[in-house]
Structure 1
């Protein structure tokens, strides 16, 4: 795998792209660019009931960019009964596909571990008056 980024909105973007121990055909600068562009694309997707993007909410658990530029995304929802549960993974997939250099995308929905408000960034907490 080229890059496996554990996304934490409380960590600077440059620190999130950890190169794997194996040699990747994708240069590190390109992986960093893809990482930043994917994060920007995630920030365009909003839960319709919460005025904060899914990245800042902490709904993106894992993103892996393989050597063929396929992006695998593990994400969750704020609750299993979320009214957009059937739609949001598609929104995330579509957003990731807009990133130049991404050849394929697969989004997996997981509830393990369950989402809780501690996953939100300070920016999300501020927007929701939770600071």
Structure 2
């Protein structure tokens, strides 16, 4: 009986969060938890690409559209296929790109591009 009540409450909470828009649907259909990118750079970001560190083999653009200054987006980066450290490349509307090297992306769920286009994030080690 308790298990049924717990399951019903969990389903109700998930439905409430989804209706409120606090759980983001992945904008890319890959697998694993999405990555939130917060743009505090003062510039428009037009692309977000990932590569295994040292490979320089970039994924398709993970943004579904440009990310305006001050905005954020949540995107599935295919965590279920990532091994080890990753490089993340941002492309800018004004031209140019910035590459963040050797990120422990499997432990990052939200990353901010600051006003110097440096990455700001907290590592969350799952299972510890």
Larger radius of gyration: 2
Structure with the higher strand share, 1 or 2? 2
TM-score by length of 1: 0.29
* More helix by percentage: 1
